[in-house]
Amino acid sequence: MSHENTTAVIAMPGDESLAATLAARLGARLSVLEFRRFPDGESYLRLDDSLDGRSAVLVARLDRPDAKIPALLFAADLARDLGAAGVGLVAPYLPYMRQDIRFQPGEALTSASFARWISSHFDWLVTVDPHLHRYDSLDEIYSIPSTVVPAAPALADWIAANVDRPVVIGPDAESAQWVEAVAVQRNLPWQVMRKQRFGDHDVRVTAPDLSGLGGHTPVLVDDIVSSGATLARAAELLTDAGLASPRCAVVHGLFGARSRETLAAAGIERLVCTDSVLVDEGEIELAPLLAAAVANMLE
Ligand code: R5P
């Protein structure tokens, strides 16, 4: 169904190409947001379009969120001021989901605070595999309707097309949901390791019995690569066990400052992720899955 007269897709800075692809897939209008910074660093926004009665769909990759959030909230307010009938958010990576508990007394529960900000500015949310660990669902912290798009089918397709005799391995218990989904999709063997985290860059991973996997190519699957420590420690265990150099298929490639060096030093042959974050490794395209989810939200 064409959304030409009912929907305007608006890109936040840097996400124009993803927004254009989504607009084309939805048959929706693409409204251009002018954005610049004043000399003092504050944001200037202008939308040269009448949104009267249209649903506005803001598209924003929200990695490195602290530099992006004020402009995003301004843009949502602007769309409403200009007469949008509703304002939705497509955020393929949803940040601030990992601080889902006070690990130490007095810590900020940023997952809940961030959810309140987004819920108070948007009418709905479409995202891809948010880090749901201690929360079962986004509904526990988001008060707006949300659709979670699973990336597992796209990861499974990439593995099937690019890896010979894959065995899917999760580096920690939290990854089991993605590992199992990918493996079941393509009827592949799978295993999950255990992890303890002692600091941002300091994790200890232990492996189950890996014997019997000779002849398979290990593919580490996880939702996030950040410091790279989790995948690096897991990869070392695989090569120590005499398996082939591992490949990695990850949903969100956040990549911290030294993570690529860490991953290369661990002997990882190749790492790919989705384009939820704009990185060279982001070769798994999410637009088809996102467009279908947005179309459902707009119905
Ligand atoms: C943890 O809960 C996530 O699933 C990832 O394993 C983790 O965020 C990866 O982080 P890093 O690359 O910093 O080890």
If you take atom 14 of ligand 1, which residue's CA is the nearest one?
230
The predicted structure's pLDDT at residue 133: 87
Structure tokens at 229: 């420590």
Integer-rounded Cα Rg, in Å, for the chain is 20
| Chain centroid to CA 83 | 30
- Arithmetic mean of pLDDT over the chain: 96
Contact 198, 204 (CB under 8 A): yes
The band of 197, judged by pLDDT with boundaries at 50, 70 and 90, is very high
Q: Which residues line the pocket of ligand 1, CB cutoff 6 A?
A: 172, 174-175, 203, 222-230
Catalytic residue among 121, 131, 195, 233: 195
Atom of ligand 1 nearest to the CA of 197: 14
The CA-based diameter of the chain, rounded to the nearest angstrom, is 63
168 forms beta bridges with 190, 219
Q: What pLDDT is recorded for position 60?
A: 98
Whether the model pTM is above 0.85? yes
Residue-wise pLDDT tens digits, 98-148: 999 999 999 999 999 999 999 999 999 999 999 998 999 999 999 999 999
Tokens found for residue 48: 């040269």
Residue-wise pLDDT for 264-298, tens only, equals: 999 999 999 999 999 999 999 999 999 999 999 99
Q: Report whether pLDDT(13) > 90.
A: yes
State the pLDDT confidence band at 1, using cuts at 50, 70 and 90: low
Question: Mean per-residue pLDDT for 30-34?
Answer: 96
Q: CA nearest 231: which of 278, 269, 283?
A: 269
Assigned token pair, 253:
């490639």
Q: How many A from CA of 64 to the centre of ligand 1?
A: 16
Q: Could you confirm whether 68 is annotated as catalytic?
A: no
Judging by beta carbons within 10 Å of its beta carbon (0-12, 13-18, 19+), is residue 239 exposed, middle or buried?
A: middle
User: In 36-175, where does DSSP find H-type helix?
Assistant: 69-81, 110-121, 152-162
Residue nearest to atom 3 of ligand 1 (CA): 224
Distance 172 CA to ligand 1 centre (A): 9
Write out the DSSP string of 238-298: HHHTTPPPPEEEEEEE---TTHHHHHHHTT--EEEEBTTS--TT--B--HHHHHHHHHHHH
CA atoms of 97 and 134, how far apart (whole Å): 10
Ligand 1 nearest-atom number relative to CA 201: 13
pLDDT at 49: 86
- Structure token pair of residue 31: 């409204």
**Residue tagged 């251009």 (tokens):** 32
Which tens digit of pLDDT belongs to each residue from 209-221? 998 898 999 999 9
Beta bridge partners of 29: 8
Which residue type occupies 23? A
Q: Which atom of ligand 1 is nearest to the CA of 230?
A: 14
Residue nearest to atom 5 of ligand 1 (CA): 224
- Give the mean pLDDT of 43-65: 95
In a mutational test of the pocket of ligand 1, which residue from 132, 222, 231 has the highest number of ligand atoms less than 8 Å from its CB?
Answer: 222
